[in-house]
Amino acid sequence: MNGKYGVLVVDDSAFMRKTISTLIEASPDFFVIGKARNGLDAIEKVKQLKPSIVTLDIEMPELDGLQTLGRLMNENPVPVVMLSNGTDSTLEAFELGAVDFVIKEVLVNNTEFLDDFYQRLLVAVSAKLPVLIQKEEAVPDNKVHTEEMVEMSKELLFIGTSTGGPSALQTILTKFPSDFHLPIVVVQHMPPGFTKPLADRFDSLCQLKVKEAEHNEILKPGTVYIAPAGLQTTIDQNERNVYQIKLKISAGMETLYKPSVDVTLLSAAPLYKERLLAVILTGMGDDGLRGCRKVKQLGGLVLTESKETCVVYGMPKVIDEAGLSDEQAPLFKMYDKIRHALL
């Protein structure tokens, strides 16, 4: 028991329990406090062992990972990192309160990913558990609340986020009315294969159109563009002076992330100048610091999510500490702050 934090490993496969446990025990920060073979076993062991964190498989007999997660968050809230190869179930896990997820196949087959895995566990241990998203009844189309079409001082809304982002984005994006007349570009740190399902899910929940961004796509008002994972998303101006999306394998700058908040903002800021509003939500690391510095230099506005609601107060923190944030706001007030900043 050399580590600081006890991990409960939950998986119906004995082989996977052993493999994941071996990886965890190799870290100086963690030890395996227990193992569970299914959801019911996990719920009991969380009560008994009081782990610092749980790694949870999704596909299990008796009580699957999502059902288990729901019960844990209601009965014994604890930071949970999902181990999954699927996309839809992973996105649902965020709604139920999961802090983060790791692609199981990558973790087991790629030792280069271990340091990232340990970092994610460390972040999850100290993370503030996400506020569970309340299910609301759909509003009939003919009763959708629309806001008066007023002149806006901004022409682009940008949102950047990482850990805790999917649920934070859902909270904000579902509030926009159907007549919102600016394009919204979103950079959410995710592995390849997950951003399109995220966009599709948001599209089914939001009054605005939400889609994964495509190369050479013209930015249109009232549409949310999710930057595709595995590529860099930049904004350019074509020969007709119309703003469009350019997807690149590399953006010619050093960054850990694809997509990167910095890359997108550094391309957008010179085009939009004072007509750009950048919003930085929960997430670990410092992606967005260089981009927000450029936004401010060119007259744009920057809003950051305040510490009280961030799952991980990392990305907003470095911007706050650099004096680049025009205003900090908790997640539940962010939509109103955005609307006010756009006027």
Hey, what domains does the chain have and what are their CATH numbers? 5-126 (3.40.50.2300), 142-342 (3.40.50.180)
pLDDT given at position 151: 66
CA 45 to CA 285: how far, in whole Å? 32
User: Roughly what angle, to the nearest 10 degrees, separates helices 14-25 and 114-126?
Assistant: 80
Is pTM, for the whole model, over 0.75? yes
pLDDT digits (tens, 9 = 90+) for 52-78: 999 999 989 889 999 999 999 999 999
pLDDT digits (tens, 9 = 90+) for 248-295: 998 788 888 999 999 999 999 999 999 999 999 999 999 999 999 999
What's the pLDDT band for 327 if we cut at 50, 70, 90? very high
pLDDT above 90 (res 5) = yes
CA distances from 330 to 94, 168, 172, 277 (A): 19, 10, 11, 17
**Bigger pLDDT: 177 or 191?**
177
Contact 13, 54 (CB under 8 A): no
- Burial (CB < 10 A; 0-12, 13-18, 19+), residue 209, is middle
CA 97 to CA 116: how far, in whole Å? 21
Q: Are strands 232-237 and 243-248 parallel, antiparallel or unpaired?
A: antiparallel
pLDDT digits (tens, 9 = 90+) for 190-243: 989 899 999 999 999 999 999 999 999 999 999 999 999 999 999 999 889 899
Contact 146, 179 (CB under 8 A): yes
pLDDT above 80 (res 142) = no
Neighbours of 244 (CB within 10 A): 16
What's the pLDDT band for 86 if we cut at 50, 70, 90? confident
pLDDT given at position 25: 95
pLDDT given at position 87: 75
Q: Are strands 156-161 and 184-188 parallel, antiparallel or unpaired?
A: parallel
pLDDT given at position 255: 85
pLDDT digits (tens, 9 = 90+) for 88-105: 788 899 989 999 999 988
Which residues are known catalytic residues?
Answer: 162, 189, 287
pLDDT given at position 150: 56
**Bigger pLDDT: 133 or 244?**
244
**Percentage of the residues of the chain whose pLDDT score is greater than 70:** 93
CA 339, chain centre distance (Å): 21
Average pLDDT of the segment spanning 9-33: 96
Closest CA to 9 of 45, 260, 17: 17
Among 98-102, 106-110, 274-278, 329-333, name the one with the lowest average pLDDT: 106-110
